[in-house]
Structure 1
Amino acid sequence: MDRQGRLRWIAGRQDGLVCREQALEHGFTRHEVDNLVAFGRWQSLARAVYLPQPVAAVEPSRRQQIRAVLLSLGPAAHAVLDTAAELHGIAGLPSSDEIHIGLPGAAAKRARIGQPNIVLHQLEHPAESLVSLSGLPATDPISTVSDVILRAGRYPAVCILDSALNRGLLSEDDLSSVARRIRRRPGAVAARGYLAEADGRAQSPLETRARLRCVDGRVPPDVLQLEVRDDDGYLLGIGDLGWRAPRVIAEADGRGVHGTPDALFADRRRQNRLVNAGWTVLRFTWQDTLDPAYIPWIVRQALSTPRP
Structure 2
Amino acid sequence: MDFVPAADLTPVAFARHGVFSSAWAAAAGLDSDAVGRLVRSGRAHPLVRGWYAVGPPGDERDRHRLAATAAYLRLGGRARVSHHSSLVFHGLPLYRADLATVHLTRTGPGSSRNRPGVKVHPSLPMDGAADRVPIAVGIVQSGLEADPLTALVAADAALHRRSVTSPEIEDAVNLLSGRHGIGPVRAVLAGADTRIESPGESVLGHRLRALGWAVTPQFMVVTDLGTRYADFRIDGTRVLVEFDGKVKYGGERGADVLFAEKRREDALRRRGWLVERFVWAEIERVPLIERRIEAAVATAARLGWA
Q: TM-score, normalised by structure 2?
A: 0.77
Counterpart position of 1:134: none
Query: Relative to 1, partners in 2 of residues 1:180 and 1:20: Cα closer, same or farther, differing over 3 Å?
Result: same
Counterpart position of 1:8: 12
Equivalent position amino acid for 1:270 in 2: R
Counterpart position of 2:37: 36
Deviation at 1:44, TM superposition (A): 3.4
Can you list the C-alpha shifts for 1:222-276, whole angstroms capped at 9, x where unaligned? x110111137x931x210011365322111011xx22251543432232222223
Secondary structure, aligned partner of 2:103: strand
Matches within 5 A, 1:207-226: 207-221=201-215, 223-226=216-219
Counterpart position of 1:155: 149
- Counterpart-to-counterpart distance in 1, 2:261 and 2:187: 34
Q: Percent identity?
A: 22
Between Structure 1 and Structure 2, how many residues are aligned?
Answer: 288
Can you list the C-alpha shifts for 1:17-66, whole angstroms capped at 9, x where unaligned? 3333333334x14366356357546443333323455x8x9989423343
Secondary structure, aligned partner of 1:175: helix
Counterpart position of 1:84: 86
- Counterpart-to-counterpart distance in 1, 2:31 and 2:266: 68
**Is 1:307 aligned with 2:303?**
yes
Q: TM-score, normalised by structure 1?
A: 0.77
- Counterpart-to-counterpart distance in 2, 1:243 and 1:93: 25
Q: 1:21 aligns with which of 20, 23, 28?
A: 23
Where structure 2 has 5 or more consecutive residues not aligned to the other structure, the ranges are none
2:110–2:122 Cα contact (<8 Å) kept: no
- Counterpart-to-counterpart distance in 1, 2:30 and 2:149: 52
2:51–2:70 Cα contact (<8 Å) kept: yes
Query: Relative to 1, partners in 2 of residues 1:48 and 1:227: Cα closer, same or farther, differing over 3 Å?
Result: same
Equivalent position amino acid for 1:8 in 2: V
Deviation at 1:202, TM superposition (A): 1.6
Q: 1:204 aligns with which of 198, 209, 221?
A: 198
Secondary structure, aligned partner of 1:46: coil
Secondary structure, aligned partner of 1:226: strand
Can you list the C-alpha shifts for 1:275-303, whole angstroms capped at 9, x where unaligned? 23322111101221222222122122222
- Counterpart-to-counterpart distance in 2, 1:247 and 1:192: 31
- Counterpart-to-counterpart distance in 1, 2:59 and 2:162: 32
Matches within 5 A, 1:1-308: 3=4, 8-11=12-15, 13-15=16-18, 17-26=19-28, 28-30=29-31, 33-34=34-35, 36-37=37-38, 40=41, 42-51=44-53, 53=55, 61-62=62-63, 63-102=65-104, 104=106, 106=110, 113=115, 115=116, 118-125=117-124, 128-130=127-129, 137-221=131-215, 223-230=216-223, 234-235=226-227, 237-243=228-234, 245-254=236-245, 257-260=246-249, 261=254, 263-305=257-299, 306-307=302-303
Query: Relative to 1, partners in 2 of residues 1:168 and 1:263: Cα closer, same or farther, differing over 3 Å?
Result: farther
- Counterpart-to-counterpart distance in 1, 2:39 and 2:138: 38
Secondary structure, aligned partner of 1:203: coil
* Structure 1 stretch displaced more, 137-146 or 179-188: 179-188
Query: Relative to 1, partners in 2 of residues 1:126 and 1:154: Cα closer, same or farther, differing over 3 Å?
Result: closer
- Counterpart-to-counterpart distance in 2, 1:100 and 1:173: 27
Query: Relative to 1, partners in 2 of residues 1:293 and 1:177: Cα closer, same or farther, differing over 3 Å?
Result: same
Query: Relative to 1, partners in 2 of residues 1:266 and 1:10: Cα closer, same or farther, differing over 3 Å?
Result: farther
- Counterpart-to-counterpart distance in 1, 2:184 and 2:170: 15
Secondary structure, aligned partner of 1:227: strand
Secondary structure, aligned partner of 2:179: coil
Equivalent position amino acid for 2:189 in 1: L
1:219–1:299 Cα contact (<8 Å) kept: no
- Counterpart-to-counterpart distance in 2, 1:180 and 1:44: 38
Where structure 1 has 5 or more consecutive residues not aligned to the other structure, the ranges are 132-136
Across the aligned residues of Structure 1 and Structure 2, the Cα RMSD in angstroms comes to 3.4
* Structure 1 stretch displaced more, 202-211 or 184-193: 184-193
